[in-house]
Structure 1
Amino acid sequence: MTAQPQLELAVQDAAGVRIAVGLDVDRVELCSALALGGVTPSIATIEAAVAATQGAVGVHVLVRPRPGGFRYTADELAVTYADVERALDAGAAGVVVGAQVAGGQLDGDFVAQVVERSGGREVTIHRVIDVCADPVAAVEVAIGSGATRVLTSGGAVSAPEGRERLRRMVEVAGGRIQVMAGGGISARTVGRVLDTGVDAVHFSARRPVAAHGIPLGAQDDGTHDVTDRDLAAAVVAQVGRPTPGR
């Protein structure tokens, strides 16, 4: 683990980015529809997020063509490669990707293609690793792909529940790739997760905002999520970093 663990805040818009900048986190992951696990944001959203950083933090863009699993068709992979290139052209400091092959293993060839197209910018493998047949073995595949880091809960529903496997993943990584814990990270749990030796933690600090009117789909509960500064600041404080005033 690095001397000072890195902090990554997952956000959905420029407002979330401004909160991240104010709290001096290391980077943001930008996506849309966090409630669905996140999908690719629009180019305009990426551009607004990059502008909101004023150069203070890097924007790492999730490139995921749809929710619901990580085994993609040729058409979906083509869209993903194109979205990677356009996100980087829009100013992203890195991208966040992942896919599986038919047997359920991490698709290292896909990640290697993204690394090649990223021109030296960082590539994070998202929590696809947690649904792989063997998340620990997937770390070696990730290393072979040339990725910068893996985001993982240790193959559990949440990182606090996956602590033992997170420790093993850190051991396997051996400093060759960063291991970033994510899933269920809060002020209450972040200390226990950092005890595993991970290099970074990823958290979202979301709160729901109620809407008015009728639901517009089977999964619509009439709310949307926003980044909550107080929730985010509480995590930052638990890691031992100062939290600037509003």
Structure 2
Amino acid sequence: MTADRILLEVCVDTPAGLAAAIAGGADRIELCAALGQQGLTPAPGLIAQASKAPIPIYAMIRPRQGDFRYDAVELDAMRRDIDAARDAGLAGVVFGANRDNGELDADVLAPLIAQSEGLGVTLHRAFDLVPDFEAGLELAIELGFERVLTSGGAQNAMAGAARIAQLTAQARARIAILAGGGINPANAAEVIARTGVTEVHGSCSAPLPPVDHRSRAHELGFTPDGARDTRREIVEDLVRVLRQL
């Protein structure tokens, strides 16, 4: 990627979303389950489908919802999931871990990075919990992450743009800063102008058709309101915006 080429990573959690992101022109996929819970480790079937994709696929490695403090049993699962991603032929993995005070947990992250040998490694938004962003970024570089996904510690990338800009300047090409959190075709150009990032991350999703509230499936909780999925046309719109910058 050259300096004037903005890369789009799309996070997906369904087979349809995966197909839509690829068809719409995404440059890279973050493959997840349960995006409504900010992303969990994807299932083997979705991983197998993604392994045939023509673009790089990075699997989320997150064994449960909640915070990013993990015990030995959870870390064992994460190591096995990293191995599964490698065995499937994926390009990389995405994970993070914090201490009780929000600092990045180097004692957890260093072994996970070692486990990821041969794979690209992204630090996810566990980074947004750190109490000192400057120190956190230096530690991420020292540990060997290739990029950090961040909203600048804010609810979304627009609100955190000033801090993302500071991180981009601090990175000095030693690590990529991937802006994420509410990125869409309407605001991507402004986020990029304000931050200087060359990579952006979004779900490019839209609400699914309304559910039938009279159905047995809805009554039993299988079809909740508010479900979303990645849409090809939104990916295409965002790609179009990025290519014009």
Q: 1:73 to 1:26 in 2, by over 3 A?
A: same
After TM superposition, give the deviation of residue 84 of structure 1 in Å: 1.0
1:186 aligns with 2:200: no
Mean CA deviation greater in 72-81 or 222-231: 222-231
Which residue is equivalent to 2:32?
Answer: 31
SS of residue paired to 1:239: helix
Q: TM-score scaled by structure 2?
A: 0.90
1:72 aligns with 2:70: yes
The one-letter code sitting in structure 2 at the alignment partner of 1:149 is R
Give distance in 2, aligned partners of 1:105 and 1:144.
Answer: 14
Which residue is equivalent to 2:206?
Answer: 207
Which residue is equivalent to 2:42?
Answer: 41
Which residue is equivalent to 2:124?
Answer: 126
1:137 aligns with 2:172: no
Contact 1:30 1:59 in 2 (8 A): yes
CA RMSD of aligned residues (A): 2.0
Which residue is equivalent to 1:109?
Answer: 107
Structure 1 gaps, min length 5: 242-246
Structure 2 gaps, min length 5: none
Deviations 1:200-236 (A, max 9, x none): 000101122234433546x973453221112221111
Mean CA deviation greater in 28-37 or 205-214: 205-214
Give distance in 1, aligned partners of 2:238 and 2:219.
Answer: 33
1:86-97 equivalence runs, <5 A: 86-97=84-95
Give distance in 1, aligned partners of 2:220 and 2:173.
Answer: 47
Q: 1:27 to 1:211 in 2, by over 3 A?
A: same
Give distance in 1, aligned partners of 2:156 and 2:143.
Answer: 25
1:235 aligns with 2:238: yes
Runs of 4+ with >6 A deviation: none
Sequence identity percentage: 38
Contact 1:111 1:147 in 2 (8 A): no
Give distance in 1, aligned partners of 2:230 and 2:21.
Answer: 9
Which residue is equivalent to 1:198?
Answer: 197
Contact 2:6 2:243 in 1 (8 A): no
Larger RCO (CA within 8 A; separation ≥ 6): 2
Contact 2:29 2:56 in 1 (8 A): yes
Give distance in 2, aligned partners of 1:125 and 1:2.
Answer: 22
SS of residue paired to 2:174: coil
Contact 1:215 1:222 in 2 (8 A): no
Aligned length: 238
Mean CA deviation greater in 154-163 or 23-32: 23-32
Contact 1:6 1:26 in 2 (8 A): yes
Deviations 1:181-207 (A, max 9, x none): 000101111011111111300010112
Which residue is equivalent to 1:3?
Answer: 4
Give distance in 2, aligned partners of 1:14 and 1:79.
Answer: 23
Q: TM-score scaled by structure 1?
A: 0.90
Contact 1:149 1:177 in 2 (8 A): yes
Which residue is equivalent to 1:50?
Answer: 51
Mean CA deviation greater in 69-78 or 123-132: 69-78
Give distance in 1, aligned partners of 2:39 and 2:27.
Answer: 20
Which residue is equivalent to 1:98?
Answer: 96
The one-letter code sitting in structure 2 at the alignment partner of 1:235 is L
Which residue is equivalent to 1:244?
Answer: none
After TM superposition, give the deviation of residue 23 of structure 1 in Å: 2.8
1:6-21 equivalence runs, <5 A: 6-21=7-22
Give distance in 2, aligned partners of 1:144 and 1:215.
Answer: 51
The one-letter code sitting in structure 2 at the alignment partner of 1:10 is C
